[in-house]
Amino acid sequence: MRKVAIAGVGHTPFTFAADKSSVELFAEAAMDAITESGIAAKEVQAINVGNVLGDFSEGQAMIQSYIADEIGAFNAPATRFEGACASASLAIRDAFMWVASGFYDIVLAGGVETSAKMGTPLATRTFAMAHDAHYEYPVGLTFPGFFAMLANLYTAKYDVPLDRLKHQMAQVSVQAHKYGVYNKYAQFHKEISVEDVLKGFMVCSPLQLLDCCPFSDGAAAMIICSEDVAKKLTRTPVYITGVGQASSGKLSAQKDYAPRIRAREVSVKQAYDMAGIGPKDVDICELHDCFSIASIIAAESLGFADYGKGGELWETGECDRGGRIPINMSGGLKSKGHPIGATGASQVVDIVHQMRGEVEPERQVEGIKIGLTDTLGGDGVLCNMVLEKGW
Burial track 121-151 (b if 16+ CB lie within 10 A, e otherwise): eebeebbbebbbeeebeeeebbbbbbbbbbb
Measure the CA–CA gap between 117 and 18, rounded to whole angstroms: 7
Torsion angle, alpha carbons of 385, 386, 389, 390, to 10: -80
Catalytic residue among 85, 212, 225, 319: 85
Measure the CA–CA gap between 181 and 295, rounded to whole angstroms: 19
Q: Are 320 and 326 in contact (CB under 8 A)?
A: yes
Under DSSP, the state recorded for 14 is: P
Distance set, CA 352 to CA 215, 329, 387 (Å): 24, 12, 8
Q: Are 334 and 176 in contact (CB under 8 A)?
A: yes
- Across the chain, where does the E strand assignment appear? 4-11, 46-50, 78-81, 106-114, 202-204, 207-208, 217-226, 238-247, 284-286, 370-377, 381-389
Under DSSP, is residue 277 helix (H, G, I), strand (E, B) or coil?
coil
Catalytic residue among 319, 338, 353, 383: 338
Compute the C-alpha angle 380/389/86, nearest 5°: 15
HSE at residue 9, side-chain half, CA atoms within 13 A, is 24
Q: Is the peptide bond before 206 cis (omega within 30 degrees of 0)?
A: yes
Q: Is the peptide bond before 339 cis (omega within 30 degrees of 0)?
A: no
Q: In the annotation, is 189 catalytic?
A: no
Q: In the annotation, is 288 catalytic?
A: no
Backbone angles phi, psi at 232, to 5 degrees: -85, -20
Q: Are 164 and 151 in contact (CB under 8 A)?
A: no
Bridging pattern class, strands 370-377 and 284-286: parallel
Active site residues: 85, 338
